[in-house]
């Protein structure tokens, strides 16, 4: 694995917090901590995207006069080819 060093600024007030997190989640290794943090933040990002898609879907349902409770019936109809 090739690696490159990246730098970032950190407020002095955050240094102790970072050190605690690095120790706990990275075993004292900042690179390991960053990799673990990236996995977590990717999960947060996906959850946000899902929430936005869910909101979009609910808005589209409402525009057509449906609710979330109608979805199972609508899916069954679509699978049967009944688009009424």
Tens of pLDDT, residue by residue over 25-76, are 999 999 999 999 999 999 999 999 999 999 999 999 999 999 999 999 999 9
The verdict on residue 61 lying in a domain is yes
Instruction: Please check whether residue 42 lies inside any domain of the structure.
Output: yes
List alpha helices for 3-29, DSSP H: 12-26
Residue 84 has pLDDT above 60, yes or no: no
What domain count does the chain have? 1
- Position 57 in a domain: yes
> Which residue's entry shows tokens 């899902």?
50
In a domain, 6, yes or no: no
**pTM of the shown model:** 0.70
Range of the domain at 41: 12-80
pLDDT at residue 77 tops 60: yes
Report yes or no on 35 lying in a domain: yes
pLDDT tens track for 64-73: 999 999 999 9
Q: How far is CA 44 from CA 41, 47, 55, in A?
A: 5, 5, 16
What's 61's DSSP letter?
Answer: H
19 occurs within a structural domain: yes
Residue 73: inside a domain: yes
In this structure, is residue 3 part of a structural domain?
no
Gap between the Cα atoms of 54 and 36, Å rounded: 27
């Amino acid at each position: 694995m090739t690696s490159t060093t990246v730098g970032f600024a950190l407020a002095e007030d955050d240094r102790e917090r970072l050190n605690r997190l690095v120790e706990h989640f990275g075993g004292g290794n900042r690179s390991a901590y960053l990799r673990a943090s990236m996995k977590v933040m990717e999960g947060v990002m996906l959850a946000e995207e899902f929430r936005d898609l869910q909101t979009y879907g609910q808005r589209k349902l409402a525009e057509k006069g449906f609710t979330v409770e109608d979805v199972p019936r609508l899916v069954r109809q679509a699978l049967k080819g009944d688009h009424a």
